[in-house]
Amino acid sequence: AQSVTQLGSHVSVSEGALVLLRCNYSSSVPPYLFWYVQYPNQGLQLLLKYTSAATLVKGINGFEAEFKKSETSFHLTKPSAHMSDAAEYFCAVSDGGRDDKIIFGKGTRLHILP
């Protein structure tokens, strides 16, 4: 069975500082990995996805994530946080099969300090 673990339900960073949101996955097959963002009172929006093409994946709004098989990790980073980045972030895993069922982590709420 597949699963993801997000370390830290809440993360606070200062505006302009590095953002690092941690995600570790478990999968018996080569995984597809995703990061989604949920702004207040909105649905989820895809930030980026890993599909085995390149280990460093760039997404929207300056975010990127690196797939590290040896560490079973897919951490999300952004060099410089902006106030508008305050949201909840979800890491997710799929085996890419026909049903394309995606398993989500419990989420990390990112707080940006002025």
Partner 1 sequence: GAGVSQSPSNKVTEKGKDVELRCDPISGHTALYWYRQSLGQGLEFLIYFQGNSAPDKSGLPSDRFSAERTGGSVSTLTIQRTQQEDSAVYLCASSLNLGTGPYEQYFGPGTRLTVT
CA distance 62 to 42: 20
* Residues 8-67 within binding reach of partner 1 (CB under 8 A): 9, 32, 34, 36, 41-46, 49, 51
Number of residues that bind partner 1 (CB under 8 A): 26
- Smallest separation (angstroms) from partner 1 to the CB of 101: 6
CA atoms of 2 and 30, how far apart (whole Å): 11
Interaction site with partner 1 (CB under 8 A): 9, 32, 34, 36, 41-46, 49, 51, 90, 94, 96-107
